[in-house]
Amino acid sequence: MKQIAISGVSRTDLGKKATKEVRKNGNVPCVIYGEKKGENGLPEAIHFEVSEKEINKLIYTPHIYLVNVTIDGTEHQAVLKEVQFHPVKDNVLHVDFYEVRADKPIVVGVPIAPQGLAEGVRAGGRLMAMVRKLNVKATYENIPEKLNIDVTKLQLGKSIKAGDLHFEGLELVTPKEVIVCTVKMTRAAMGAAAAAAKNA
């Protein structure tokens, strides 16, 4: 799992006016939910702000990262939990992080990477990835940058579901019935099949 470092400063004034001022200054309001829990049983939240430039290098990338967050000189290891975007401008409005420990499993969406030339593609079909990521559970040290999926034996009209997959050291938490990738019949392949049937 790749690592990236960002640094920010804590926030105490969390009102709308203060939050608007944070964004006006080119920063993004963030929250990191820690391991420690409050009286209500919910994880304690640390509010801070980070420059938009630093956040963008974390957000606009296909990679997943372990994020080393430094807030007022104190370091936290975290993973990205949720990002809120502006509905029109599409810039980042708010980011949530979740603090992690080396000995505690976390759930992360990992990008899939189909490997090989599918039999169905050789037959004229088209390989389609139906999801971009699969959710896995493991300690962050065991989480890979991508999940390699062998599609060489995938035939025309067939699919690979999450339940068909197994990755050593990882618990797959995406529902088993979710279709990961499939080989669909193209119009050209359908025409060839119809012509073959007609000439048979």
Domains and CATH numbers, the chain: 2-100 (2.40.240.10), 107-199 (2.170.120.20)
Q: List b or e across 170-186, with b for residues whose CB sees 16 or more CB atoms inside 10 angstroms.
A: bebebeeeeebbbbeee
pLDDT for the residue 163? 96
pLDDT tens for each residue of the chain, 200 residues long: 889 999 999 998 989 999 999 999 999 999 998 876 667 777 778 999 999 999 998 988 888 899 999 999 999 999 998 999 988 888 899 999 999 988 899 998 999 999 999 999 998 899 999 999 999 999 988 999 999 999 999 999 999 999 999 999 999 999 999 999 999 987 766 666 566 556 65
10 Å CB burial of residue 96 (0-12, 13-18, 19+) is middle
Q: Tokens 């964004």 — which residue? A: 23
Q: Which two tokens stand for residue 85?
A: 């975007």
C-alpha to C-alpha distance for 83 and 68, rounded to whole angstroms: 17
CA atoms within 13 A on the CB side of 53: 2
- Cα dihedral value 97, 77, 40, 84, nearest 10: 0
Q: What is the pTM of this model?
A: 0.77
